[in-house]
Amino acid sequence: MIGVMVRYLALLAVILIGCDTPSGRVSPRNQPTGSLHAQALATLQVATRSEQPLVRANAIEMLEPEVEPLRDAVRRGLVDRNAGVRFVSAMALGKRRLCGSSELVRPLLDDPSQSVRAAAIFALVVCGDDDVDQTPLSAMVLGLDRVTRANAALVLGEIGNPTAAVLLREAMKRPLQVE
C-alpha cells in the first residue's frame, strides 16, 4: 500500500513541477496551471500530514518547487516524531534557503539521530550561521553506520566545501557495517 501511495505522490510531483519528457528537467514553459496543478498541490499538502512517515517525507520533498506550501510542511516536519521526516525537512529548508525558519533547526543539532543532526548542520550553514560546528560531519562520514555515512556525505556535498573531498575519499576506503 505504501508503495502505491509513493508512486501516486511521485506522479503528482511530476505534474506539480512540470517535467519535460526528454530531459527530465523542470521547464518554465511546461509549468502546469489551473486545476490539475492545484489538485496535485492539495494532495501533496494532505500527504504531509499522513500517518505514514514515508509518505510525509516524500510529500515534503515533492513540495520543494512550491515555496509557501513547502515552508508550512517543513515547519511541521522539523518537529515530527519520525527522524526521516525531520531529516527531509531540514534538508528541504536548506536546499530552498527557507532561512526565515532556520531558528527552528537549531534544536535539531541535539537530535538523537545523527542524520538529523547532519541535516541541521547543512541547513544552518547554507543559511549563513557561522557559529555552527561542522566537525561532527567528519565523525559521521567516517563512522560505521551506512545510513549516517551516506547522509553525512550528502550533506558535505550539498555544502560544497572543496576540502571535504579528501574526507569523502577517506570514507570510501572504510568498511561499512554489515546488516
Q: How far from 136 is each of 43, 52, 59, CA to CA, in Å?
A: 37, 30, 29
Q: Is residue 142 part of a domain?
A: no
Q: What is the pLDDT of residue 54?
A: 97
pTM confidence score: 0.79
SS3 category, 19: strand
Report pLDDT digits (tens) over 2-42: 665 556 556 555 555 554 444 445 545 455 556 888 899 99
Range of the domain at 8: 1-19+33-106
Domain-located, residue 151: no
Decide: 58 and 8 in contact? Cβ < 8 Å: no
Give the pLDDT band of residue 58 (cuts 50, 70, 90): very high
Residue 96 lies in a domain: yes
- Residue 70 placed within a domain: yes
Contact 59, 74 (CB under 8 A): no
Q: Is 62 a member of any domain?
A: yes
Question: Is 164 part of any domain?
Answer: no
Q: How far apart are CA 175 and CA 179, in angstroms?
A: 12
